[in-house]
């Protein structure tokens, strides 16, 4: 039996390697994908899934089918621990899986437990992305007029897109409802000033209450407390305040970044264990921490594919060189977008159409035949 290559998570940075699994297998390597779900949802189109612009089938990859169609093994499970010296993974089920080379693309989660004292079925962290499908169903299936107050926590791009697409969802349902966005210190603090100004005007024109200069102190099942002493009630809340990786890297005593991400070098390789690789939100580059945006995971795709093959065969590794500037587009839910590249900003229908084209092209590249025809 040849060397064992294990993928943990079917995220965006693994997709090139997954669709080319047969190239590893043809060389005699055994390949396994471990993922808790047969589907991987694409975060770039998730707000559009919330509002109904996209069907769930258009926003996900069938990673189980991709894997099994290429005669690799799919394990529906989660990794809870890593033993890097003996080279095995501990799974939630109690099973242990050994590896020769392993790559992690487990994404991130929204840390809510610090603030949420009484989590309920009406509070939706925006990661994992599947939560936005649950949120959409919750809103659609609620009795008419029962959801009068919505809360979105987080003033970053995710919070803005969720708020804008929630506006569309409520409008389509025709039941009304007030939306409050708690933006923290300032809305879109890391974006160009013009993007902040345009986004704020867009939301205020739709009667969204945007609160800047205050953070959330605590959120309970039907109300939120702010640090300035104010309290607000809600029937549904979306949690988009920061992200963090799985704690497994820190708990397994691997070299990690400041937030517990797997610390990797320019080859996307663990700085402490050369047979461990990773991509996407769950890693941080040594000496060059990057923003947690999907463009980097997408660009890491071919690098991981090449370097995992090199790690198995002993060939040279290829460095990942992140670009300084990247195109960013907010989906504002009404067929319009706000686009920026560096300090250049455009708003309008063409901005959304460009985002839609880029996203659909990315999905088409990795979706399997018949996936769009599946029922939810």
Indicate if the pLDDT at residue 209 is higher than 80.
yes
**Paired strand residues for 284:** 263
Alpha-carbon gap, residue 230 to 111, rounded angstroms: 22
Q: How far is the CA of 170 from the CAs of 149, 162, 240, 333, 349, in angstroms?
A: 11, 12, 19, 11, 21
- For the chain, domain boundaries: 4-36+77-108+244-313, 123-242+327-373
Specify the CATH class of 4-36+77-108+244-313 in words.
alpha beta
Q: Are 45 and 363 contacting, i.e. CB atoms less than 8 angstroms apart?
A: yes
**Paired strand residues for 219:** 116, 224
Lowest mean pLDDT among 65-74, 202-211, 218-227: 218-227
Largest interatomic CA distance in the chain: 63
- pTM above 0.85? yes
What single-letter DSSP state applies at residue 205?
H
**Paired strand residues for 8:** 34, 104
**Residue 181 burial (C-beta neighbours within 10 Å; 0-12, 13-18, 19+):** buried
Q: What is the pLDDT of residues 42-56, one digit of tens each?
A: 999 999 999 999 999
Q: What is the pLDDT of residues 129-168, one digit of tens each?
A: 899 999 999 999 999 989 999 999 999 999 999 999 999 9
Q: How far is the CA of 270 from the CAs of 105, 130, 278, 279, 305, in angstroms?
A: 13, 29, 8, 11, 16
Q: What is the pLDDT of residues 290-349, one digit of tens each?
A: 776 667 888 899 999 999 999 999 999 999 998 877 899 999 999 999 999 988 999 999
CATH code of the domain made up of 123-242+327-373: 3.50.50.60
Domains 4-36+77-108+244-313 and 123-242+327-373 are alike in CATH topology: yes
């Amino acid at each position: 039996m040849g060397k064992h290559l294990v993928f943990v998570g079917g995220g965006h940075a693994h997709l090139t390697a997954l669709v080319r699994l047969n190239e590893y297998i043809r060389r005699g390597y055994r390949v396994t994908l471990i993922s808790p779900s047969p589907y991987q949802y694409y975060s770039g189109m998730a707000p559009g899934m919330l509002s109904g612009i996209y069907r769930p089938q258009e926003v996900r990859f069938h990673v189980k089918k991709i894997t099994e169609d290429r005669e690799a093994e799919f394990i529906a499970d989660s990794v809870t621990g890593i033993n890097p010296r003996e080279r095995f993974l501990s799974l939630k089920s109690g099973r242990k899986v050994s590896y020769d080379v392993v790559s992690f693309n487990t994404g991130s989660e929204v840390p809510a437990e610090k603030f949420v004292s009484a989590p309920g079925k009406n509070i939706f962290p925006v990661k994992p992305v599947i939560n936005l499908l649950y949120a959409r169903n919750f809103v659609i299936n609620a009795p008419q007029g029962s959801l009068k107050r919505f809360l979105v926590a987080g003033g970053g791009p995710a919070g803005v897109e969720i708020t804008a697409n929630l506006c569309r969802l409520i409008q389509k349902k025709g039941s009304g409802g007030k939306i409050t966005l708690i933006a923290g210190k300032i809305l879109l603090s890391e974006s160009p000033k013009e993007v902040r100004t345009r986004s704020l005007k867009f939301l205020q024109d739709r009667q969204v209450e945007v609160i800047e200069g205050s953070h959330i102190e605590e959120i309970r099942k039907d109300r939120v407390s702010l640090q300035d002493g104010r309290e607000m009630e809600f029937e549904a809340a979306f949690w988009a305040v920061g992200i963090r990786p799985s704690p497994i890297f820190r708990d397994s005593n691997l070299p990690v970044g400041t937030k517990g991400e797997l610390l990797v070098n320019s080859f996307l390789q663990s700085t402490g264990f050369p047979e461990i690789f990773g991509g996407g939100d769950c890693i941080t580059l040594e000496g060059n921490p990057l923003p947690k945006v999907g463009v980097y995971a997408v660009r890491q795709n071919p690098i991981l594919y090449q370097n995992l093959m090199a790690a198995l065969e002993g060939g040279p590794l290829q460095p990942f060189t992140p670009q300084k500037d990247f195109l960013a587009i907010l989906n504002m839910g009404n067929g319009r977008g706000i686009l920026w590249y560096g300090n250049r900003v455009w708003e309008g229908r063409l901005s959304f159409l460009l985002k839609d084209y880029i996203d659909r092209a990315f999905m088409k590249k990795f979706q399997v035949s018949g996936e769009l025809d599946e029922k939810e």
